[in-house]
Chain A
């Protein structure tokens, strides 16, 4: 990589990954408690915007699903549908014990975690995790995106 007379040399792969990790747009969607902490993480003290994280209201403009809260069996197909509506490339973060394993709500009506329906990239334990934990998840996800190989020639991904 180097800068000479306005010419920027880089691997296309690095450039794409750099672009993707700097503008993760999550879906403004939460089912329960952790959603309040997500709002706190987005609001004045913690300020998600400085990471380029801007909440969007429709899944069609998003590339990140931050799943906050308990997933009930009635909600699961809708989350699956939201995930399918999001364009590729996309990532998912499971926030809180409920989205990881169902937490204390081991009843007839709850799903045992987000990974039953959607592939999850980062798990954040806690009930509810503090906004700082949201940051760590985001930083881990950015590291993961950095290692991504967006261009594959000749074979199926």
Chain B
């Protein structure tokens, strides 16, 4: 296909405050309209998949925290589910651990959507939303710190359970947060949903229809804004999602505004899910007892010979799943996040492939930007919510 001739070629990024990281766009302009554009990625390529081939299964976990650094828990969860499937222990995980995983995944979804909301609004000129969104996000970070010890990279999931049980303080604070948060979502909505500037910047901009979205493999809020109800949590339930009632928000138009509404509604649903989890969560252990998969408790390691040997064995040799291939997916805040592992029977994966939702979602960008104004580029990138750490890996 022959390219339309451009008057001006404009370079945008990789250092640009509104490209959500280090995305570079080369825009070919005719007047203020974009006739062609190229997206250049790879500025934070860290070779994560290659790195994973040289680490034991337990050691890989912290690397995936840092792939999608806004939603660390969902990334861990995807990998952990894949390894458990490979080991064939996915049905043995204690129920309490399953619920705790869901709680953490949904808290991560809220925190990720809050960052998206804050930055997206900031880029379109609404500074106060950014400050409000981060105020609530700090509360989630406090919760993470209480239960897992880390703010951003929690490292909470384990192959065979979760790291720790909840504390009383965590549950109290979580309940307080759940009570307070729906009001705060209303606050954001009063600032944006019927704001005339917001409407004119987002309505009818960057339309992706249902068929195009499916053809490009787009998942997550972008697909749901286009009219499809595909959600991994509903279609292929994992952890405790089949025991929980929640709606999947679906809108029809597929423009920037609808993606905004889908994500706002998702935050409300997340609150609902966590509330149900807290009610339905049974008491009990949070890790399986098989010490060839998970480290024995510290009291045993320090006080008994058996515990010490088991600990030593697992640390030195690692987990050795049988040979085989496995794919496990979770619904991340950006879409279907999948892990494909090929095992050759050793303690390290032979090949590991991540299905990054961000990369697949922004692949449509050059097509989508055509015939839009330069100012709309910011609005469109923001609504696709790419995360460059995940795009480049």
Measured CB to CB, the residues of A under 8 A from B are: 27-33, 35-37, 39-40, 43-45, 57, 59, 69-70, 72, 74-75, 78, 82, 104-110, 127-128, 130
B138 touches A31 (CB 8 A): no
B135 touches A31 (CB 8 A): no
Chain A residues whose C-beta falls within 8 Å of the C-beta of B389 in the assembled complex: 32-33
Chain B residues whose C-beta falls within 8 Å of the C-beta of A29 in the assembled complex: 15, 17
User: A39–B141 Cα gap in the complex (Å)?
Assistant: 13
B118 touches A107 (CB 8 A): no
**What are 15 A-to-B residue pairs whose CB atoms are below 8 Å?**
A27-B15, A31-B21, A31-B44, A35-B21, A40-B134, A43-B134, A43-B135, A44-B134, A74-B42, A105-B51, A107-B50, A108-B50, A110-B46, A127-B66, A130-B151
Give the A-B contact count at a CB cut-off of 8 A.
102
- Name the interface residues of B37-58: CB closer than 8 Å to any CB of A: 42-48, 50-51
B14 touches A45 (CB 8 A): no
B43 touches A128 (CB 8 A): no
Contact of A75 among B22, B115, B118 (CB under 8 A): B22
Chain B residues whose C-beta falls within 8 Å of the C-beta of A69 in the assembled complex: 44
A70 touches B135 (CB 8 A): no
Chain B residues whose C-beta falls within 8 Å of the C-beta of A82 in the assembled complex: 15
B45 touches A44 (CB 8 A): no
Interface string of B111-136 (1 = CB under 8 A from A): 00001001100000000001110110
Contact of B47 among A32, A45, A78, A107 (CB under 8 A): A107
Contact of A108 among B47, B66, B115 (CB under 8 A): B47
User: A31–B223 Cα gap in the complex (Å)?
Assistant: 27
Beta-carbon nearest neighbor of B135 in chain A: A44
B340 to chain A, nearest CB (A): 20
B15 touches A43 (CB 8 A): no
B51 touches A32 (CB 8 A): no
B46 touches A33 (CB 8 A): no
Known contacts A33-B69, A82-B15; A128 and B151 CB within 8 A of each other: yes
Contact of B152 among A36, A43, A72, A109 (CB under 8 A): A36
A126 to chain B, nearest CB (A): 10
Chain B residues whose C-beta falls within 8 Å of the C-beta of A75 in the assembled complex: 14, 22, 43-44
A33 to chain B, nearest CB (A): 4
Chain A residues whose C-beta falls within 8 Å of the C-beta of B137 in the assembled complex: 40
B180 to chain A, nearest CB (A): 15
A128 touches B44 (CB 8 A): no
A79 to chain B, nearest CB (A): 8
Contact of B62 among A57, A72, A104, A109 (CB under 8 A): A104
B43 touches A74 (CB 8 A): yes
